[in-house]
Structure 1
Amino acid sequence: MTVERVLIVVPARDEETTLRGCLESIATARAAIDVPSTVVVVLDACTERSEEIARGFDDVLVVDRDHRNVGRSRHDAVCSGLSTIEPHPSRVWIAFTDADSAVPPLWLHEHLAAAAGSDAYVGAVVPRLAELDAQRRRSWLGSHPPGATLGHVHGASLGVRADAYGHVGGFLPLDVGEDVDLVARLRAVGFLITESERHPVITTGRLTGRAPAGYAAYLHDLAM
């Protein structure tokens, strides 16, 4: 099915140090595709400058919530974005990333390539290695040969056709693992999923994250 609109969803909770870079990287990726796109940033219980930064981008839809729950935030952003665009959900592709991450220039190209033959896309996420201490950097490099990220689901590099998303009920209100849960439900009903390590999203190397048992916790445990 031809994609007529791309909806890019970014949840943020107190991400003033990384949000601008995230949105700038998305702007570069949007400029590299011919399909019209919409960006939605959902600010969940933000108490610092994230709102000011997000509203500084003229073509970004900003949604303010107080869920303190990433699953609800992502779902609200999807609903808000879909309400502003015209194509049928079967012709809308939703791309997800996180506010502490930066997408590569061809990230949306990779999503659209997957959309040509699949219902969802699971991409790779790698940390900013310069932000890791030497022990964790060695551990990460030693445990990630080519192919190691395949099979791992990350909300920072995830895509799905809007009608498939709606068919399974979208993200559930989970504090963590909402991305893994969504992909599991898509697989369970037979939707086709493409996995790729091409054009990985770069995420922060911080060791204390917003979600319990999330990617930051994984990086923290590398030292063990």
Structure 2
Amino acid sequence: MVTESRAGVVPVAICVPARDEAASLPGLFAALELLDRRDVSPVLCLLLDSCEDASADVVRDYGARASLPVMVEHMVQPGANAGRARHAAMLLGLSALGGEGLLLSTDADSTPAPDWLQAMVAGARRADIVAGKVVRTVTRPNPLQDRIERYYEALHAIRRVLDPVAWEATTSHHHASGANLGLPTAAYRTLGGFLPLSHGEDARLVDDAARAGLRVRRDAASVVHTSDRRLGRVAQGLAGALRALDRDSDAIAVAHPEDVAWQYRRHAEARHAFAGGDYPSLAAAIGLTTDHVRGVARDCANAEAFAMCVVPTPPAGMRQVTLAEAEAALASMAAGRRAA
């Protein structure tokens, strides 16, 4: 849970990796100046990653007039590695906080909403890790990306019907992004930080958190706007995904909603089994032996960890279908629930 000072103020480190972002950083800095800082004491921790542009000059100019403390560190690595850079930014945040407080992660091409700090602190009081909502700033429309996001939003809504948890936000969403992520310093240390992955380090951290039994809250009240640029800093980030969709809309395949819903139902059953010790019924439902299920339970700290670790892929696998097929199947499932 989030730590407060004796005066009730929450120390927060806003951790930002930047690689040749001289053009984007002024927008971020302008947004930071507009943040509502009631009962929050923020410090900006900037990790300049192998910058060859004027990023350092832009940061220096901002630091001279910023209304919040600014810490800057430089690193050099031969190629872009999002996980390594993001972890270095978080380590700078840990140092700035003296080991206790709330670490927030965002990106240099992103702009947090004015109430971002308030929303993240409120979320961190209810959960162990807060994944806020990332909204693309649309300069070049991509209807297919919009459809994909709507599909996964609807699928996540089903998740919380089938597997409700007390710490989830009233208005939730489906994704987890390093552009809008927050967790207490103790939780970050427990997880070991972002792994040195070239991409997907943010989703991996959130997945590892759930498997470790930490409560993940996907909170749509926390909003960060991010660029929809097509030239990003890593090959397989959002920019690369948008470029791929621009080129080849027929290549999109998504998980079949019935298979995903199967897992959601089993997660709920696993939570109940862990609480009541009814492992034989769960084992039969997920196709494992009772001894195997009991063994997993012994290694799990709580019901959340157990649910995330014990539930396998569906018996027929996780089918990949076209987006149109998935949308139709999801609509059919929704109609069936309304008729029930």
Settle same-fold status: TM greater than 0.5.
yes
In structure 2, the residue matched to 1:185 is 208
1:36-69: CA deviations, max 9, x gaps? 1111010101101111111222321111111232
Q: Higher relative CO (CA 8 A, sep ≥ 6), structure 1 or 2?
A: 1
Q: Which letter does structure 2 place at the counterpart of 1:72?
A: R
- Write the mapping of 1:29-178 to structure 2, written as runs, cut at 5 A: 29=35, 31-58=36-63, 59-67=69-77, 68-86=80-98, 88-89=99-100, 92-129=101-138, 131-133=139-141, 136=142, 138-145=143-150, 147=153, 150-178=173-201
In structure 2, the residue matched to 1:221 is 244
After the TM superposition, which of the residue ranges 188-197 and 56-65 deviates more from structure 2?
Answer: 56-65
- 1-side partners of 2:148 and 2:83: how far apart? 29
1:115-158: CA deviations, max 9, x gaps? 111110111112111x114xx1x334444449458221111011
**Does the 8 Å contact 2:13/2:93 carry over to 1?**
yes
- 1-side partners of 2:115 and 2:224: how far apart? 10
In structure 1, the residue matched to 2:336 is none
More helix by share: 2
- 1-side partners of 2:227 and 2:92: how far apart? 27
**Does the 8 Å contact 1:55/1:62 carry over to 2?**
no
**Does the 8 Å contact 1:32/1:105 carry over to 2?**
no
1:140-194: CA deviations, max 9, x gaps? 4444449458221111011111101101101111111111111111111100111
Flag structure 1 segments of 5+ consecutive residues without an equivalent. none
**Does the 8 Å contact 2:120/2:222 carry over to 1?**
no
- 1-side partners of 2:202 and 2:20: how far apart? 20
In structure 1, the residue matched to 2:12 is 6
When the two structures are superposed, what TM-score results if normalisation uses the length of structure 1?
0.89
> What is the CA-CA distance between 1:97 and the residue it aligns to?
0.5
CA distance change for structure 1 residues 142 and 174 in 2, over 3 Å: closer, same or farther? Answer: closer
- Compare CA radii of gyration and give the structure with the larger one: 2
SS, match of residue 220 in structure 2:
coil
Alpha-carbon RMSD: 1.9
When the two structures are superposed, what TM-score results if normalisation uses the length of structure 2?
0.60
- Write the mapping of 1:193-212 to structure 2, written as runs, cut at 5 A: 193-212=216-235
In structure 1, the residue matched to 2:309 is none
Flag structure 2 segments of 5+ consecutive residues without an equivalent. 5-9, 64-68, 157-172, 250-340
**Does the 8 Å contact 2:19/2:51 carry over to 1?**
yes
SS, match of residue 181 in structure 1:
helix
